[in-house]
Amino acid sequence: MSELKTTISEEITLSSKGYKLQKFLGEGAYAKVYLAEYTSKDEKHKAILACKIIETSKAPRDFVVKFLPREIDVLIRLSHPHLINVHSIFQRKTKYFIFMRFSENGDLLGYVLKNGCVSENQSRVWFRQLALGLQYLHELEIAHRDIKCENILLTANYNVKLSDFGFSRFCLDDTDTLALSETYCGSMSYAAPEILRGKPYMPKPTDLWSLGVVLFVMLNKCMPFDDTQMRKLYEQQMGKKYRFRSRVSSAVSSECKSVVKHLLEPDPGLRHSAQQL
């Protein structure tokens, strides 16, 4: 477990804003996540939060000047029940402190690994919540570009929230024209075939592909395609070579299978949009 490595001046700043870090939760390449407690100045409001501390001095320039400002710009615009909501963001020297709602029941991947296949009824509920969040995001002309089970958090009431907007981007350029993405984003096993091709792509349809993978994982407790080799993965994607487990296939409705089919469509022009879900 990582210690709470904050300076005295940082602790003073945090305290003045009503925050107190409690314990270490996890870490990524350039960030650590802590459990935090917030108390308003009048002490009438308290909240348990997650605090993401990003140390920019340890991050590459591309992350600091491109991806981090974009993530913060996206986060401060969001207000939706099924997208992670930010409590506050502030900077202290080379560190950014991002306080967000804490999700008491972990992430979707942990849930599936612990409990097995998710029933169709429950999958429908969570899928609908994610689809509504994604529709809201796309209406703002924002693409997430890293949808996966690990980035879907479960609240105390077992509702889902899409999190981690580190790869998100705006879909329009300065002239309000749809802009192609060139960055290889997200996890290979959730990446759409147009990303694997390594050519510029429209970002919104790739979110829908990833959402289709998430739905398949919920129902099957396995990935739809073999992701050990990129070439093999791409060939299976283009050939639509995914298969439901036999016991799942007999239990899942044709309507649900149709949704998976329209999301795991290798042609992004034929793939369902968020509005069609």
Binding residues for ATP: 52
The Cα 277–Cα 272 span in angstroms is 7
How far from 60 is each of 28, 57, 65, 69, 96, CA to CA, in Å? 14, 8, 9, 13, 15
Q: Which of 42, 62, 107, 146 is catalytic?
A: 146
Residue 161 in tokens = 């929230």
How far from 127 is each of 121, 132, 217, 260, 276, CA to CA, in Å? 10, 9, 11, 11, 13
The Cα 204–Cα 208 span in angstroms is 7
- What does residue 205 show for φ and ψ, rounded to 5 degrees? -60, -25
Beta-ladder partners of 172 = 178
Helix residue spans in the chain (DSSP H): 8-16, 61-62, 68-75, 108-115, 120-139, 193-196, 203-220, 230-238, 246-251, 254-263
Annotated catalytic residue 267: no
DSSP conformation class of 119: P
Task: Give SS3 for 166.
Answer: coil
Exposure of 132 in the CB half-sphere (CA atoms within 13 A): 14
Q: Which residue has the tokens 């036999």?
A: 246
Annotated binding site: 52
The Cα 191–Cα 260 span in angstroms is 15
Residue 34: which H helix or E strand, with range? strand 31-39
- Please identify every residue annotated as catalytic: 146
